[in-house]
Amino acid sequence: MKRIVVFTLMLAFLNCNTQVPKEFPKDALEDTFIALDGNLIALKTILEAHKGKTVFIDIWASWCGDCLRGMPKVKALQKVHDDVVFVFLSLDRGQEAWKRGIKKHDVQGEHYYMDKGKKGTFADFVQIDWIPRYMVVDTKGKIKLFKAVEADDKRIKQTLQ
């Protein structure tokens, strides 16, 4: 009985102290990705290019069944929210697979390859435990939605409105 009480208290303590980040830390902003043209680009540069606009981030891979099942829902969001910038960060196993996946699935938006995979500072910050992973960054560069794993998550629609 004592163990159950201690476990319950620990669980409650951990849940109460879990804060959802509202800003990217400096090291995550400085993490780099590979653009379609092969150049490295920092997350900070990507976000600064869209200052004043809402940015929807989709972390995906062309081999990921859940990512592909969510893609029609993402495309539906794009149709409704044409003022939102859609940034796709790929965890594909190679750049060729990433580029083939974009073309094969007709993924429209900005594309970057996470060459460090789940080991980069950005990936570490967002604690990728599942893909697809969706985030929304507001017009001031603040994180409005830190984590969603379903493209039809009601929080995405609420945040984009």
Domains of the chain: 20-160 (3.40.30.10)
Q: What pLDDT is stored for residue 20 in this prediction?
A: 87
Q: DSSP per residue over 108-129, as a string?
A: -SEEEE-TTGGGSHHHHHHT--
Instruction: Decide: residue 41, CB within 10 A, 0-12 exposed, 13-18 middle, 19+ buried.
Output: middle
pTM of the model: 0.87
Which H or E run contains 133? strand 133-137
Q: What pLDDT is stored for residue 91 in this prediction?
A: 97
- All residue ranges of the chain with pLDDT < 50 are 5-17
Structure tokens at 13: 């303590």
* φ, ψ (nearest 5 deg) of residue 44: -55, -45
Q: CA-to-CA distance for 11 and 112, rounded, in angstroms?
A: 37
CB 138 within 8 A of CB 54: yes
Unique residue bearing structure tokens 């829902």: 73
CB 84 within 8 A of CB 55: yes
Per-residue pLDDT reduced to its tens digit, 92-124: 999 999 999 999 999 999 999 999 988 999 999
Q: What pLDDT is stored for residue 131 in this prediction?
A: 96
**Cβ–Cβ contacts within 10 Å for residue 65, how many?**
8
CB 151 within 8 A of CB 136: no
Q: What pLDDT is stored for residue 152 in this prediction?
A: 95
